[in-house]
Copies of this chain bind each other. A is one copy, B any other.
């Protein structure tokens, strides 16, 4: 009965969420698509996006089948099925979101003819469809998996009354079941991660290669403006916005969301397993206010995170409705207020859920609150470093007067400097939540950060839709007034994107930390063989190997980033050659008499970006396995944490360096330091070319890297040896 309630309520919330998304979608599709030309252009973008999605889907299915088969062989069919469901939910959410975004863009353009508010309504509704799809499908899939395989979550067997010995023995008998339950939910998370890898890395390469190619030839060589229909890469560029910023971001946050939820579940499952040291398990649960173990409180304990995020979905829905119904002309404020409202309501909902719907004390609530606060703070910090309203970007723009060499160096310095506060926030949140309630509280903090994910995805997806809408207005040669409205929406979208990017990094870091904590709890306790969960940094048993693991782990994000930058540059290079060829072969294109062949560029971008993600994917998938099998579980902890450390810093640095250089250029274009055409502007353009792949490909992909490596480790943990294989 409890199971029905604790799975049923979240499931109902998800279904309601999906119905509302359906309503929004219906509402959008009713809107006018405008002129024939607009329809045509948006058709190009849609079909380009579909081309990429189909090619990607084909690649994903192959990998999916292989991985599912491996999981089946290693464990059982249930694990494989859970993995496939996770991948399917993530893929479906991405498809719904992209489909909606490519319909909403042209309708936003059309609505912009009537003013800002109607345009915002359409664009934001498009975003909300994606947001609701992400949150609801991810949660619904997880509910389904737990329901399907509920026999492995055996509540009956934990009905223990008092003494220790029977407790332990009754558990040791259940060990395998519980471990399997943990593996099943981990596999679900890994399915979502795998799709995210394709969406974020492949999409990231696609979007920036297209952007770079379109700019380098269009703006620099033949001197035509952004989004000019004569540019053969212009459609690919607009497709890229959808592929990278809608599909990629959605999949990224969906992955964080699932990771954060399952980290809590796995830690609690293992606390119930009991393992070697009962006291430590008791200790973990007692910090959360649980002193007696019995069947009556099993499901409420294990499934609390589902209830909390269901509360987050409802709160986000209210925030979405607020934004849609708001008549406030200050769009930026409306969006911010909506986000704050969702965060606040999530906090309140969590309080009631924890207080009245769980056997816990208030520690999970406080931990969630810490997570929410940290998420909001990190977003605000990102904005400070990347918005031209603040000093850092203004000073960066000023330094463009000294040439691109100096300004890029300063841009890099700005990105490095901007690591300071977010890392302090993450470190303090970790310390505070651990102080509150141990490792389990740390996972709850991660959950808190992700709990209102529906709202963040909605706001983040609004940006690229507005961006596309502006592109369509330009390409369809609409009136300047329309372009002005879409430009304004786009500018706000840039701000929300900066905040969203910071948030995505912070939440990825926390989700990874949660997964690592779960991994430590689930596996490495055995290694210590004394006190679970104790992990040695250096010890007679594992020596300085953990330090070596930290070093190797810290190196991975650097190599991974390097591959991505090269991939973007190479793909852009191939596209540039194609564009030049088209201009040469059909001189009519530049005169506006002939249509360029958009599809050639789209196809190059799709094929190349998928091909170039093989190596990064290989690293993400196999490096933890190699370390795990060769150097063992303890060293793998070091490896994961080392990777986390580098990835956090590189991701923040890349996002903020790129964002600041981009906005410094725009600040100059607004007429500062000489404006367009000045020497400072030339430096700004070079800086932007440099920064773009960092902020839109490297930074976001690093989010995926650490989560994927962590979840793989969690999944395969029990197969790894405890000590290095060459250890005597």
Give the residues in chain B near A331, CB-CB below 8 Å. Answer: none
Interface status of A255 (Cβ within 8 A of chain B): no
Give the residues in chain B near A128, CB-CB below 8 Å. Answer: none
Q: Are A533 and B537 in contact (CB under 8 A)?
A: no
> 0/1 per residue, A541-583, Cβ < 8 Å to B?
0011111111110110011011101101100110010000000
Interface status of A12 (Cβ within 8 A of chain B): no
Taking a contact as CB atoms closer than 8 A, the residue among B220, B416, B534 that contacts A539 in the complex is: B534
A420 to chain B, nearest CB (A): 5
Taking a contact as CB atoms closer than 8 A, the residue among B548, B549, B638, B686 that contacts A405 in the complex is: B686
Give the contact stretch, choosing among A451-459, A476-484, A639-647.
A639-647
Interface status of A439 (Cβ within 8 A of chain B): yes
> 0/1 per residue, A606-639, Cβ < 8 Å to B?
0000000000000000000000000000000110
Taking a contact as CB atoms closer than 8 A, the residue among B536, B543, B641 that contacts A536 in the complex is: B536
Q: Are B649 and A558 in contact (CB under 8 A)?
A: yes
Q: Are B413 and A565 in contact (CB under 8 A)?
A: yes
Known: A402-B573, A645-B642, A689-B405. A442 touches B539 (CB 8 A): no
Q: Are A653 and B690 in contact (CB under 8 A)?
A: no
Give the residues in chain B near A690, CB-CB below 8 Å. Answer: 404-406, 408-409
Taking a contact as CB atoms closer than 8 A, the residue among B417, B536, B548, B685 that contacts A537 in the complex is: B536
Give the residues in chain B near A566, CB-CB below 8 Å. Answer: 410, 413
Give the residues in chain B near A426, CB-CB below 8 Å. Answer: 551
Q: Are B559 and A416 in contact (CB under 8 A)?
A: yes
Give the residues in chain B near A568, CB-CB below 8 Å. Answer: 409
Q: Are B649 and A420 in contact (CB under 8 A)?
A: no
Q: Are B534 and A517 in contact (CB under 8 A)?
A: no
Give the residues in chain B near A280, CB-CB below 8 Å. Answer: 540
Interface status of A374 (Cβ within 8 A of chain B): no
- Within the assembled complex, what's the spacing in Å between the Cα atoms of A693 and B413? 11
A654 to chain B, nearest CB (A): 10
Q: Which of A388-418 contact B (CB under 8 A)?
A: 399, 402-406, 408-410, 412-417
Give the residues in chain B near A646, CB-CB below 8 Å. Answer: 554, 645-646, 649
A506 to chain B, nearest CB (A): 12
A335 to chain B, nearest CB (A): 30
Give the contact stretch, choosing among A67-75, A84-92, A360-368, A429-437.
A429-437
- Within the assembled complex, what's the spacing in Å between the Cα atoms of A413 and B212? 16
Kindly report which residue of chain B lies nearest to residue A412, judged by CB atoms: B565
Give the residues in chain B near A645, CB-CB below 8 Å. Answer: 550-551, 554, 642, 645-646
Q: Are B551 and A540 in contact (CB under 8 A)?
A: no
Known: A569-B410, A687-B405, A689-B405. A427 touches B562 (CB 8 A): no
Q: Are B552 and A423 in contact (CB under 8 A)?
A: yes
Q: Are B548 and A538 in contact (CB under 8 A)?
A: no
Known: A548-B430, A638-B537. A559 touches B420 (CB 8 A): yes
Q: Are B423 and A551 in contact (CB under 8 A)?
A: yes
Taking a contact as CB atoms closer than 8 A, the residue among B430, B537, B546, B561 that contacts A413 in the complex is: B561
Interface residues of A (CB under 8 A from B): 212, 216, 220, 280, 283, 399, 402-406, 408-410, 412-417, 419-420, 423-424, 426-428, 430-431, 434-435, 438-439, 442, 513, 517, 520, 530-531, 533-540, 543-552, 554-555, 558-559, 561-563, 565-566, 568-569, 572-573, 576, 637-638, 641-642, 645-646, 648-649, 653, 685-690, 693-694, 724, 726
What are 9 A-B interface contacts by the 8 Å CB criterion? A404-B404, A413-B569, A420-B558, A427-B549, A430-B544, A430-B548, A513-B547, A535-B538, A646-B646
- Known interface pairs A413-B563, A435-B543; 6 further A-B residue pairs with C-beta atoms within 8 A, sorted by A's residue number: A402-B573, A408-B408, A413-B566, A416-B561, A533-B539, A642-B645
Smallest CB-CB A-B distances: 10 pairs: A405-B689, A416-B562, A413-B565, A417-B562, A423-B555, A427-B548, A554-B645, A416-B558, A537-B537, A413-B562
